[in-house]
C-alpha cells in the first residue's frame, strides 16, 4: 500500500491524472482542481516584479461581495476543490472573512496568498475560524533594509515575521514564498533558515518570471548564470538536509533553460484564474495579450461554459494553433511551446515559440541580452502602482 498516495504536482500545474487525457480543442477539458482568485489589485506593497498586469483593475471595477460568493458557489458546484485567495493584496478587501467563510461552507479548500502587512492577529484568528486551511506569506529578503526596499514599504518585513508567528500559533500551515532575483539571491541560505525558524511547512523559492512589471525591471533583477547555479546547489543541499521538515519548491527563470516551461500546464488545460473585475483568464498575465476577448463572470455565460467554449480559452489549446518550429517538434505536447504571454511580450505574436526555447530564432539574442543585463550596474527599480510605475530615486528611497 505504499503507493496509495500519489502526490499531484504543486501549484498551477496540479491536476488529477483523469483530467490529463485530452489533446485537441474538440475534446472536453475537465474543470481544474484549483482556481486562483485575484480578488483585488489593490496592494500596499510596490514590488517591481509584481505578477499583476501593468494595467491594474481599479477598485470600482471589482466584483462585489455577493458576486464573489456566487462565483465561489459556482466553482464548488462544477468540481473545483481548492481556491487561492490572492491579489493584489487579498486582505485589502474588507469582506475577506465573509468570502472565506462562504468558500468553506460550500466545501472549498481555502488558501490565502498574502503579503501579510495589513493583517492583525484578531483578523487572522477570524479567518482561521472561518475555515481558512493554509496561509502563504511572501518575503522579499532576510532583513528589513533590503526587504522593505524591494517591497517599497517601510516596516513590512518586521510585520511579516510577526504574522508568520501568529499563523503557526493558530495551528495554520505556513508556506514562505520568497521571490528571488539578482539583488537578493545572496540571502537564500538565510531565507531557508528563516523558514525553518518560522516553523513553515513549505518554502517556495521562486525566481522572478519576466512578464509585465518584472519585464520592465529586468535589468535590475536578472541574475547571472553563475548566481543561479549556486542557488540550485543551495536548494538541493537544503532539500536533502531538511527532508520531512521543510518542503522546498523551486522555480528557475526560464531565460537560462534550453527548453521552455509547460506554462500553466498548457493554455486552458489545467488552470484558470479570475481577475478582480471578474474576467476568467487562462493565466494571470493573459490580459497582456492583445486581441483576445476574455469573458467575465458578469457575462451571461457560466464559468464552465467560458472554460469549455470561449474563443480565448480555445485559441491556444492543444497543438492546432502552432507554427514552426513548434508544429513539427517532438516536444510539442510536452511543453506546448512554452508561455504564450512571454511569446507575445518578446516577439509580438503569442503563437510564436516562446523565446525561452532554444529552438526559437530569438533565443540566442534574448539569452545574450539577459546575460548582459545580469552584469549591468542598473539596480534601480520601477515600483508597481496604479500610476503606471514610479522610478526609485538615485539613493534608493
Partner 1 sequence: MAGPRNISVSEASRPVLPRHAKLKYDDTRKVWVILAPERVLAPDEIAVEVLQLCNGERNVGDVADQLAAKYAAPREAILADVIVMLQDLADKGFLTEIREKTP
**Binding residue (CB under 8 A) for partner 1 from 23, 61, 107, 349:** 107
Residue 336 to residue 181: CA distance in whole angstroms: 26
Residue 103: count of CB within 10 angstroms of its CB: 28
Residue 254 to residue 336: CA distance in whole angstroms: 15
- Min separation Cβ 174 and partner 1, Å: 9
Asked if residue 30 binds partner 1 (CB under 8 A), the reply is yes
Asked if residue 366 binds partner 1 (CB under 8 A), the reply is no
Residue 317 to residue 25: CA distance in whole angstroms: 6
Q: What does the radius of gyration of the chain's CA atoms come to, in whole angstroms?
A: 20
- Min separation Cβ 9 and partner 1, Å: 9
Among 200, 100, 116, 110, CA closest to 159: 116
Stretch that binds partner 1, among 27-35, 93-101, 211-219, 229-237 (CB under 8 A): 27-35
Q: Which of residues 19 and 370 has its CB atom nearest to partner 1 in the complex?
A: 19
What is the DSSP secondary structure assignment for residue 286, as one 8-state letter?
Answer: G
Asked if residue 389 binds partner 1 (CB under 8 A), the reply is no
Q: Which of residues 95 and 105 has its CB atom nearest to partner 1 in the complex?
A: 105
Residue 112 to residue 83: CA distance in whole angstroms: 9
- Min separation Cβ 241 and partner 1, Å: 15
Find the helix or strand (DSSP H, E) in which 205 lies.
Answer: strand 202-207
| φ, ψ of residue 284 in degrees (nearest 5) | -70, -10
Asked if residue 82 binds partner 1 (CB under 8 A), the reply is yes
- Min separation Cβ 184 and partner 1, Å: 23
**Binding residue (CB under 8 A) for partner 1 from 33, 118, 257, 366:** 33
131 to 160, contacts with partner 1 by CB under 8 A? Answer: 133-134, 136
Residue 316: count of CB within 10 angstroms of its CB: 25
Hey, what's the cell of 14?
496540479
Asked if residue 78 binds partner 1 (CB under 8 A), the reply is yes
| φ, ψ of residue 109 in degrees (nearest 5) | -85, 130
- Min separation Cβ 336 and partner 1, Å: 22
By CB under 8 A, name the binding residues for partner 1: 1-2, 4-8, 10-11, 14, 16-19, 30-31, 33-34, 78-79, 81-82, 107, 109, 111, 133-134, 136, 168, 171-173, 175, 201-202, 244-245, 247, 249
Amino acid at each position: 500500500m505504499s503507493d496509495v498516495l500519489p502526490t499531484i504536482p504543486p501549484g498551477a500545474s496540479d491536476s488529477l491524472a483523469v483530467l490529463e487525457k485530452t489533446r485537441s480543442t474538440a475534446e472536453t477539458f475537465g474543470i481544474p482542481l484549483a482556481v486562483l482568485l485575484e480578488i483585488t489589485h489593490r496592494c500596499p506593497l510596490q514590488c517591481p516584479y509584481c505578477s499583476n498586469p501593468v494595467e491594474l483593475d481599479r477598485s470600482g471595477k471589482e466584483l462585489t461581495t455577493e458576486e464573489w460568493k456566487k462565483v465561489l458557489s459556482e466553482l464548488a458546484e462544477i468540481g473545483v476543490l481548492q481556491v487561492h485567495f490572492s491579489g493584489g493584496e487579498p486582505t485589502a478587501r474588507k469582506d475577506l472573512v465573509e468570502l472565506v467563510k462562504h468558500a468553506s461552507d460550500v466545501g472549498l479548500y481555502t488558501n490565502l496568498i498574502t503579503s501579510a502587512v495589513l493583517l492583525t492577529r484578531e483578523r487572522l484568528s477570524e479567518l482561521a475560524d472561518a475555515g481558512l486551511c493554509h496561509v502563504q506569506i511572501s518575503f522579499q529578503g532576510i532583513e528589513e533594509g533590503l526587504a522593505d526596499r524591494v517591497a517599497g514599504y517601510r516596516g513590512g518585513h518586521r510585520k511579516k515575521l510577526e504574522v508568520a508567528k501568529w499563523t503557526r500559533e493558530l495551528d495554520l500551515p505556513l508556506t514562505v514564498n520568497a521571490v528571488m532575483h539578482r539583488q537578493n539571491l545572496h540571502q537564500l541560505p538565510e531565507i531557508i533558515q528563516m523558514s525553518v525558524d518560522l516553523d513553515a511547512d513549505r518554502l517556495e523559492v521562486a525566481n522572478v518570471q519576466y512578464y509585465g512589471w518584472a519585464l520592465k525591471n529586468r535589468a535590475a533583477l536578472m541574475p547571472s548564470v553563475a548566481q543561479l547555479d549556486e542557488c540550485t546547489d543551495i536548494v538541493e543541499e537544503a532539500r536533502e538536509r531538511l527532508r520531512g521538515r521543510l518542503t522546498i519548491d523551486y522555480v528557475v527563470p526560464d531565460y537560462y533553460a534550453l527548453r521552455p516551461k509547460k506554462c500553466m500546464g498548457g493554455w486552458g488545460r489545467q488552470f484558470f484564474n479570475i481577475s478582480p473585475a471578474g474576467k476568467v483568464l487562462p493565466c494571470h498575465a493573459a490580459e497582456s495579450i492583445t486581441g483576445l476577448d476574455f469573458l467575465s463572470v458578469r457575462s451571461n455565460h457560466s464559468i464552465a461554459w467560458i472554460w469549455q467554449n470561449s474563443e480565448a480559452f480555445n485559441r491556444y489549446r492543444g497543438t492546432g494553433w502552432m507554427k514552426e518550429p513548434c508544429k513539427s517538434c517532438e516536444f510539442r505536447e510536452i511543453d506546448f511551446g512554452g508561455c504564450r504571454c512571454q511569446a507575445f511580450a518578446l516577439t509580438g505574436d503569442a503563437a510564436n515559440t516562446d523565446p525561452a526555447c532554444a529552438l526559437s530564432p530569438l533565443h540566442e539574442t534574448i539569452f545574450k541580452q539577459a546575460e548582459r543585463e545580469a552584469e549591468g550596474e542598473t539596480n534601480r527599480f520601477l515600483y508597481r502602482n496604479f500610476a503606471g510605475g514610479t522610478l526609485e530615486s538615485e539613493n534608493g528611497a
